[in-house]
Structures are given as structure tokens and as C-alpha cells.
Structure 1
Amino acid sequence: MCEELTLRDTTRQIGSSKFPAANDPLGEILHQLRLDGSLYCRSTLFGDWSLAMPVLTGKMMFHIISHGQCWLTIEGEAPQLLKQGSLVLVPHGLGHSLCRDPGLEATPLFEAGIKQVSERYETLQMGEESEGELTELTCGLISFDQFAAKQLIQMLPPLIMLETLAQSKSRWLNASLDLIAAEARQLKPGGETIITHLADILVIQLIRHWLEESPEANQGWLGALRDKHLGIALRAIHHQPQKNWTVDSLARECGMSRSGFSAHFTSLVGNTVKNYLTHWRMNLAYQRLQKKSEPLIILAEEFGYSSEAAFSRAFKRVMGVSPSQIGSSLL
């Protein structure tokens, strides 16, 4: 993955307080997904089979159907037939089932006889070749970081499927799926790294496909990112959270009156400008503190607070715990 920039590095690179409208306003958010391929499993399944996937809070799961077909069922959604070449993402870690037939009783995944090949790679076989048709799956469990990425993932639907693309896109998609399937079967040196990077690309492609095709992607926070005025204000907050932003200064950045900007922001984002700015700063600070313990006065200054006390009060109000409690957990 790309090396992360510090807040100071980012601020130096921007250099100016003016943020022109981006050609790809969601590109930065997709970049910040920084997926961490936690675990991959290649499954070889014969005849009648059914697997129950557990609830995995804070994780995403994806499934690639490399041979045969199966059904996916998830609570509140109609069963979905996944044909060979299908790619599906369960963004919120919801429990779900994969099965040859929806009427079959599901075996919990962790009781199905998974074999660990390495720290990040597992295999599973259910049934024998003589028992019926073959289904091959590659499944992945992915975690993610960054507050912006979490904002985006919260807005995704329970299930995202990709079955058909324009011919120009389907060629590279099919080639990527074939390469993942080949690497999963052969387990050559470096195969896990190849699978991890290709899977990251496929997951981001799935999310991008939803962003391009779904009407819901033009609403709320995502709609605000694409808005020609609010997008500028949001990028200003995201790039320079340490700056002394006010409703007036942000309204000037995006060329709107104070009242018009404030009303439009609240209507689309679902939060006031001041609350959004505070929550953004505190979540960034929380992520920093989770990685390493830092003097609170430094964090206070970097996130636009004149004193450690003011920063600590805002942090506890938003996060529910004091910043010192987060830092002490690392000791």
C-alpha cells in the first residue's frame, strides 16, 4: 500500500487555501480506502453444499465465482444467483449464506473443515468429485482504515454485485478474475501478494461501479462531495483540518453567501458545518492516537485548537472518551 502522508506533509503540498473543483471528487476518498487484505480462502465445492458466513463487524467480504454457480442469501434481501464470473461485495460484514440451493441447511464456515495454508491464505473442500457439480469460489475478508473511507462504506448498500460490464471493461475484469483463480490454485511464491493487490483493485472497481450507476450515490455526503460548491468546502476541510475554518470562510471558499451555504450544507450532508468540521477533526485525531501516543498540545495545534483543554473537551464530546484514554491503551 502507499505510504501515508503526515498532516504537515499534506498541508505543505497544498500550499494554498483555494481548492478548485476536482475533476474526480470521489477519487481521493477511493484512494483513502487503503484496504488491508486480511484473509483469503479458495473453496472447492461438490454436489449439494451450503455455507453460513458469520457476522464480521468492521470488515468487508467479497466472493468471486470462478467456476459453476451458487446462491447468496442475506437477511432483508432477495436471494441472488451468482453465475461464473460474478463478483459480489458485502460491505458491512453482515452474516450471509452461500449455497448450491437456498433450501439446504447451512454449515457454519468455521465448522466446514477449513485448512490454513499460510497466515493469510486458506483452502476449503466440501464433498467429492463423484458427488455432483463443481463450484469454485475465492473469498476475501478485508479491513479498512481512514475516516473518509468509513464515511463512504457506511453509505454502501448491503450487497454490491457486478455481473456484466461494457466489453472494454469486461476484458480486464475477466483477466483479473482468471489470474486470481490461477494464483489461488497454484500457490506459487508471491501468489498471496498478487491476489491481495488484484483483490483490492476489484473491490474498488465494485464500489466505483456502484458510485457510477446508483442514484443513491448522488445523495447525502456523496452528493455533497460532487456538488460544485459544497465539494470545494468539503475538500478544504479534508485537506486543511488545522485551519481556523468558520462558516463565513468556507462560504467564501465556495462562492456562496453564508446563509445559503449553511442551509445547503445541512440539507445535503445532514449535519451543520460546525459539527461536521469538529467530527472530522476528532476522528482524524482518534486515528492518530490509535497508531501512536502523541502530546495532546501537538494534536490540539494541528487540528485547529488553541489549547489542550479545548481539544480534549471536543474530543470527549465527539468520541465519548478522553484522548488520554486512547493514548494510554497503547502503553
Structure 2
Amino acid sequence: MTLDNPAYPLANDPLGEVLHQLRLDGSLYCRSHLAGDWSLAMPVLPGKMMFHIINKGNCWLSVKDEVPIALQQGALVLIPHGLGHTLSSNPNLEATPFFDSGVKRVSERYETLDILGNGEKTELTCGVLSFDQMTGMQLVESLPKMILLQELEEGKADWIKSSLHLISHEARHLKPGGETIITHLADILVIQLIRHWLEESPEANQGWLGAIKDKHLGLALRAIHHEPERNWTVDSLARECGMSRSGFSAHFTSLVGNTVKNYLTQWRMKLAYQRLMKKSEPMINLAEELGYSSEAAFSRAFKREMGFPPSKLSKNAT
């Protein structure tokens, strides 16, 4: 794969490419009408992202070891790491597991929930999203445990306001095709929210994300991600991003928190792990695709990094 592959964003936009690689697959969307006393415990879902939109009213969000947060109408919250959490009308109420709350399946990807007691009404649109691209996984791992957009400044983030309005409208007047519109809008909204956080949060200028956004290191990371099979060295990657060998090595280690060599090995092993979890394939083919001269060299590197041989995954692949 060449670095000027037109299927990817421009070479001077590595961060745009990371978002391009974040391929979301909406697995569940739920529209809830709630009133009175209610408390819903959302399950722990490793490898998933959960989001909640407060279409009407307000509620409380409780995440383990954190002070409960009051969410107002129009708020949007993303739980990137699938952590268990609770949404409620009162944080002191005992929570009911979401799947035991009376939720009704409308279709494969759309559900509804009605808890109609006496009291203030709240309407929520919630979703569970999965992602399957290694670069996307790296991005999600770098996100905080919660991204909350409570209020939008006038004139900023109009795209979020528009998306929230459209989702609310479609959810209130679920017409033919409305479910599909909601799922696609929600996918776009989550990517927009992540992009907003990447652009506005000081945290996004640190670690791996900071390296991706760096005008020099971003090109080196892009090269590794695109062509993991190449015989990359510190020298060749330094040339790729227009830096001296020593300057590149020091800057990379300082920002990424890892040496260039270790990062390259870990990236290759993550790709191998992902491939082997999906299907069984000849180990020599995988070794060659990841830049190893022999199956034995690849297996040693994999075991050193993962703690077990790749054959263990290959035997269990589906």
C-alpha cells in the first residue's frame, strides 16, 4: 500500500485519517420515554462505545468512582470505553439493569423503553457502537472515559445542534426509514463529537494523539500504519517526516512514551492479533505481510509482546 493511496485523506492530515479509519457499526439504538422515579444501570460493554442524548427534560449520570453529573436537555455524553454507568431521575435510587427494564425490540437495531410514572418527563436517545479498525481502536484507547457536551456556545458546533435536532425529530415522528436515518445520524454525531474534543481539549495534544497531530511525527505514524510490512528503521522514518535521526527519535519517545522500534513491533502485533481473532490463516503469510522474514521470527516477536504464541489464537479463530 503506497502512502499516496487516494482512498485515504491527504498526507498532511494524519488526524483526518484516524477519524477516517474509525469505522463505526451501530449495534443498538434505544429511544426512551421516562417519567417519575427511574434508574437504569447500563452494562459494561468492552470494546464498545455508548452515547446518550437528552432530547427532553433532564437526568443524572453516575459513573463508578465519580460524582453524579446532572444532564440537561440537549446534553450529549459519550462513554468511549464501554464502562458501566447509571442514568436516573435521582442518583440515590436503586438501579434496574437496562436489559431487565422492559425494553422492547422494534427491529434488529432499534429499541424503545417506556417507564411512565408520575412526575417530570425525560426523553433519551441512546446507542451502542462498535469499531473494528486498528487505528480506530488506538484512537478510542486515547480518549477520556467520558466526553460530555453539556452546553454549546453560541455560534459554535452548529453541526451538533443540527444533528441533535434531526435525531430528536426523527425519534418523535418515527416514519418509514426513520430508524435508518437515526442510526446514520448518530454515527456521524459521535464522530463529530470526537473531532470536537480532539480540536478543543488540551488532553488531545498529549501522548499518541499529540504525536498524530504533530506535523512531523504524524507522517511517521502514518507511514507505519499504512505499510507495517516495510523494513522501517529510525533512519528511514526520520527521513519520511523530514527530521534528523536523533531529533526524531527523542521527539517520538518524549511524546508517544515509547521508542520507535517498540511502537512498530507493538503495532504489528496488534494487527496480527486482530487478524488471528477473525480467522485462521497460514502463519507464514501473516509473518510476511507484517515484515518478518520467517514464521519463527514472527512467532517469537508475537509471544514476546503478547505473552503467548500466535498458534493459540489461530487454533481458536472462527
TM-score by length of 1: 0.88
Distance 2:67 2:286 in 1: 47
Which deviations, in whole Å up to 9, do the C-alpha atoms of 1:4-61 show, x marking residues without a partner?
A: xxxxxx338549xxxx961x32111111111111111111001222212122222111
Q: Aligned with 1:327: secondary structure?
A: helix
Within the candidate set 51, 74, 92, 1:103 is matched to 92
Show the 5 A alignment for 1:1-331: 10-11=1-2, 14=5, 22=12, 24-128=13-117, 131-168=118-155, 170-330=157-317
Shift of 1:126: 1.0
The Cα shift of 1:186 comes to 4.0
What is the alpha-carbon distance in structure 1 between the residues aligned to residue 246 and residue 49 of structure 2? 40
Which sections of structure 1, spanning at least 5 residues, go unmatched?
1-9
Cα RMSD after superposing both structures: 2.2
The structure-2 alpha-carbon separation of the partners of 1:171 and 1:266, relative to structure 1 and needing over 3 Å to count, comes to closer
AA of the residue aligned to 1:265: F
Helix, strand or coil at the partner of 1:37: strand
Q: Which runs of 5+ in 2 are unaligned?
A: none
Give the distance between the partners of 2:39 and 2:312, measured in 1 at CA. Answer: 44
**Secondary structure of the equivalent of 2:2?**
helix
How many residues end up aligned between the 2 structures? 316
Amino acid at match of 1:41: C
Name the CA distance, whole Å, in 2 between partners of 1:196 and 1:83. 22
Distance 1:147 1:164 in 2: 32
Distance 2:129 2:138 in 1: 16
Greater alpha carbon shift after TM alignment, 291-300 vs 163-172: 163-172
Task: Give the superposition deviation at 1:194.
Answer: 1.6
Structure 2 counterpart of 1:281, one-letter code: R
Q: CA deviation at 1:316?
A: 2.2
Query: In structure 2, what is the Cα distance between the partners aligned to 1:172 and 1:214?
Result: 18
- Counterpart Cα distance in 2 of 1:13 and 1:319: 32
Give CA-to-partner distance per residue, 1:224-243, whole Å, 9 cap, x none. Answer: 11222212211111111111
Contact preservation (8 Å) 2:14, 2:219: no
Q: Secondary structure at the match of 1:113?
A: coil
| Residue 325 of structure 1: how far off its partner (Å) | 2.7
**Higher mean displacement: 285-294 or 64-73:** 285-294
* Residue identity opposite 1:226 in structure 2: K
For 2:306 and 2:186, the matched residues in 1 are separated by: 32
Worse-matched range after superposition: 271-280 or 69-78: 69-78
Of residues 187-196 and 88-97 in structure 1, the stretch that sits farther from structure 2 once superposed is: 187-196
SS of 1:11 mapped into structure 2? coil
Q: Is residue 290–residue 326 contact of structure 1 (8 Å, CA) maintained in 2?
A: yes
In structure 2, distance between residues paired with 1:254 and 1:266: 15
Percent identity, aligned pairs only, is 72
C-alpha distance in 2 between matches for 1:238 and 1:170: 30
Task: Report SS of the residue matched to 1:103.
Answer: coil
- Distance (whole Å) between structure 2 residues aligned to residue 181 and residue 73 of structure 1: 23
- Kept after mapping to 2: 8 A contact 1:44/1:136: yes
Q: Which moved more, 1:178-187 or 1:40-49?
A: 178-187
Separation in structure 2 between the aligned mates of residue 174 and residue 235 of structure 1, nearest angstrom: 32
TM-score of the aligned structures, taking structure 2 as reference length:
0.91
SS at match of 1:55: coil
Change (3 A) 1:190 1:328: farther
Please report how far the alpha carbon of residue 286 of structure 1 lies from its aligned counterpart in structure 2 after TM superposition.
2.1
Instruction: Report how far residue 204 of structure 1 moved.
Output: 0.8
Kept in 2, the 8 Å contact 1:21–1:228? The answer is: no
Report the 3-state secondary structure (helix = DSSP H, G, I; strand = E; otherwise coil) of the residue aligned with 1:278: helix
